[in-house]
Structure 1
Amino acid sequence: MTASIRNPAARRAELRRLMLAHETASVDELCAILSASPATIRRDLAALEAEGLLSRTHGGAAVQSIRAVEQNFAQRELEDVEEKRLIAEATVALIAPGSTIFMNDGSTLMAVARAIVSAGIEVFVATPAVNVAAKLSENPRVMACLLGGFVRPTSLATSGHFTEAMVAQIDADLAILASDAVSVSGGMAFRHPGDAGLAQRMMERSRETILVATARKLNKRQRIIAAPLSRIGKLVTGPGAPVKDLVAAGINIVTAGDQRDSDAA
C-alpha cells in the first residue's frame, strides 16, 4: 500500500504506472494500493480511459498493446520501492541549489527525479532518459535538458554520437549515475557499451560523480566497465546494503537514512 495521493494528476500517473506493471487490476486492488475510495478510483479510470491509456473492464481496468520496454520499466519501478525512495532523498540532500547535473537512465534515477521535483530545488539537469526528463519538467524550477540522439527501444533513452556531442558542450557540477553492477574489482559496470560510454563522457564533464545503487546491484559484475570506483566521489545505497568490501576498499559510502559518509563515521 502506498500513502494516499491527494493530487489527481499524480495519483493517475501512479495508477497508470501500476497498470503498466500488472496489465490488469480490479477497483478493489487499486483502492488498497493507492489508499483511495472506489469512487475516486473509478473517476481516475474513466479519465485515463478517455485519454486512451487503458480500457475499463467489469470491476476494474486493463492496459492493452503495452510496449515491452514500458512494462519492463514499470515492473522494475515496483522493485525495492522504499529503498529507492530513501536513496533518492539522500542523493537530493547532496545537491546544491543552482547545480548543473547529468543523470543517466534507470528506475533509481527516476526515483531521484521524483525527489528533485518534490524538493523544489532549482537545478539544470541533462539526461538521455525521455521519462526522467518528462518527470523533471513537472517542476518549473527544474530546467530539464533532453540529450538528443537515437532512442534505444529497450530503454527509452538516447545514445550515440549526437548524445555524447551534447554532453561535451555542458560543464556540470555533478554526474548522478546508476549502473547495472557495482563491485570493487569490476567498478561501475554496464551490460550495454553505449551506456558505459555515455557514463564516461558525463563523468569527464563533471566536477564530481555520485553513483546510486540498490543493494541488489552491489558486489556484482557486468561485461563493460565504465570506470573504477576510485573515480566515484560518493556511492549512495540503501540501509542494510552489503558494503563491507566497498568500505574496506576506501569507497566513500552514503547510506540512505544516515547522511554520514563512511570515511567520517
Structure 2
Amino acid sequence: MGKLFVTERRHKIMEILNTERRLTVKRLSGELDVSEVTLRSDLKEMEKEGLLKRTHGGAVLPSYPEEEVSFSTREKQNKDEKEIIAQQALDIINEGQCILLDASSTALELAKLLKQTSMKLTVVTSGIYTALELRENPDLTVILLGGVVRKGSSSLEGILGSSILEQVYVDLMFTSGNGFTFDTGLTDFNVYEVELKTEMVKKATSLVALMDHSKIGKSSISSFADTADISYFITDQPPSEKQQADFDNRNIEVLCPVEA
C-alpha cells in the first residue's frame, strides 16, 4: 500500500474498526506502512473526536464490547432533545409528500409522530426500526431500502438500495449525523452507512438536518452532505449569533424553540 495522507489513513483506520471492532497498532503499522508513533498520534486525535477508544496497544470502537448497545438504549440518549427536534420536523411535512428518513434515532422519533398522523405520505427509509414503527398506519406507504444488515445495527448499509431511489421523487430527506461544521457539512463515523446516505442525499429535493446543539462544531470521519446541500437545520436550542449568521449567509433556514 502506498503512503496515505492523514485523512486517508484515518479513514482506513475507521474502516478496519467498523469491520473488526478492534485493532492493534502493531498490526496496523504493517498494513498501512506507517510508524507506530504516527499511528498512536492518529488514535489519540481520533479518540478526542469520539471516534474510538484507545486501549493498551490499540483501539476499539467507543462502546466496545457492548458496542452494539441495543438501539433502544441509544434511542434513550438525549431523548428530550430528539423529541423537540422531531416535533419541529413534523411541522414542515405536508399531505401527499414523499419523505426520506435515515436510520438515526432522531429520525425514529419523527417516525413515532408520523405513526399517529392522518396525512397520506410515502415514507422511504434505510432504518429497520423506523420502517417497523410506521407499518401499522394505513395512510403511510412505507418503502424500506435494500442493503446489508450488520450485527447490532439499526440501519441498512451499502448501495444495494440505491436503485429504489431512482424510482421515487423525494420532497424532503430527514437525516442526522455525528457532527456538523460549516466546512465539512454533515459527517458520520460509519463509512458503510455513509455510502448509502450519500446516495440518499443526492435524491432529495430538500435536505433537512436533524442535529441537537451538541453536534454543531464537531466533525467525524466521513462527510455525506455538504453544507450547500442543506435547506433546513432543525435543532433543540437557538444557535449562537455567529452560527446564525453563518446559516443565513448560506440560505439555510434554522428551526428551533424560541427563547423565552
Give TM class, smaller chain: 0.5 to 0.7
Matches within 5 A, 1:185-200: 185-200=183-198
User: Does structure 1 conserve the Cα–Cα contact (< 8 Å) formed by 2:102 and 2:125?
Assistant: yes
Q: 2:243 aligns to what?
A: 246
- In the aligned structure 2, how far is the partner of 1:201 from the partner of 1:186? 17
Cα distance, 1:107 vs structure 2: 1.0
Letter in 2 for 1:83: E
Q: 1:218 aligns to what?
A: 216
| SS of the residue 1:94 aligns to | coil
User: Does structure 1 conserve the Cα–Cα contact (< 8 Å) formed by 2:68 and 2:151?
Assistant: no
- In the aligned structure 2, how far is the partner of 1:231 from the partner of 1:154? 30
What TM-score do you get using the length of structure 2 for normalisation? Answer: 0.67
Cα distance, 1:227 vs structure 2: 2.1
Shift in alpha-carbon separation, 1:231–1:161, aligned structure 2, 3 A: closer
Letter in 2 for 1:248: A
- In the aligned structure 2, how far is the partner of 1:109 from the partner of 1:229? 19
Q: 1:256 aligns to what?
A: 256
| SS of the residue 1:233 aligns to | strand
Q: 1:229 aligns to what?
A: 227
- In the aligned structure 1, how far is the partner of 2:71 from the partner of 2:162? 24
Q: 2:50 aligns to what?
A: none
Unaligned segments of structure 2, at least 5 residues: 1-64
| Worse-superposed segment, 153-162 or 101-110 | 153-162
- In the aligned structure 2, how far is the partner of 1:243 from the partner of 1:195? 30
Cα distance, 1:230 vs structure 2: 1.6
Letter in 2 for 1:85: E
Q: Which whole-Å deviations, capped at 9, do the CAs of 1:194-251 have from their partners, x for residues lacking one?
A: 22222221122121111111122211101111122121001000024x4444322235
Cα distance, 1:154 vs structure 2: 3.6
User: Does structure 2 conserve the Cα–Cα contact (< 8 Å) formed by 1:128 and 1:148?
Assistant: yes
Shift in alpha-carbon separation, 1:200–1:206, aligned structure 2, 3 A: same
Q: 1:76 aligns to what?
A: 74
Letter in 2 for 1:199: K
| SS of the residue 1:84 aligns to | helix
Matches within 5 A, 1:113-128: 113-128=111-126
Letter in 1 for 2:255: T
- In the aligned structure 2, how far is the partner of 1:139 from the partner of 1:68? 33
- In the aligned structure 2, how far is the partner of 1:146 from the partner of 1:80? 26
- In the aligned structure 2, how far is the partner of 1:214 from the partner of 1:169? 32
Shift in alpha-carbon separation, 1:133–1:70, aligned structure 2, 3 A: farther
User: Does structure 2 conserve the Cα–Cα contact (< 8 Å) formed by 1:69 and 1:156?
Assistant: no
2:163 to 162, 165, 168: 165
- In the aligned structure 1, how far is the partner of 2:95 from the partner of 2:89? 13
Matched, 1:101 2:99: yes
What TM-score do you get using the length of structure 1 for normalisation? Answer: 0.66
Cα distance, 1:68 vs structure 2: 5.2
Letter in 2 for 1:81: K
| Worse-superposed segment, 146-155 or 209-218 | 146-155
| Larger RCO: 1 or 2 (CA < 8 Å, sep 6+) | 2
- In the aligned structure 1, how far is the partner of 2:230 from the partner of 2:159? 24
User: Does structure 2 conserve the Cα–Cα contact (< 8 Å) formed by 1:101 and 1:126?
Assistant: yes
Shift in alpha-carbon separation, 1:136–1:162, aligned structure 2, 3 A: same
Q: 1:85 aligns to what?
A: 83
Cα distance, 1:156 vs structure 2: 2.4
- In the aligned structure 1, how far is the partner of 2:67 from the partner of 2:117? 29
Q: Which whole-Å deviations, capped at 9, do the CAs of 1:174-206 have from their partners, x for residues lacking one?
A: 111111111112211111222222222112212
Letter in 2 for 1:255: L
- In the aligned structure 2, how far is the partner of 1:196 from the partner of 1:186? 14
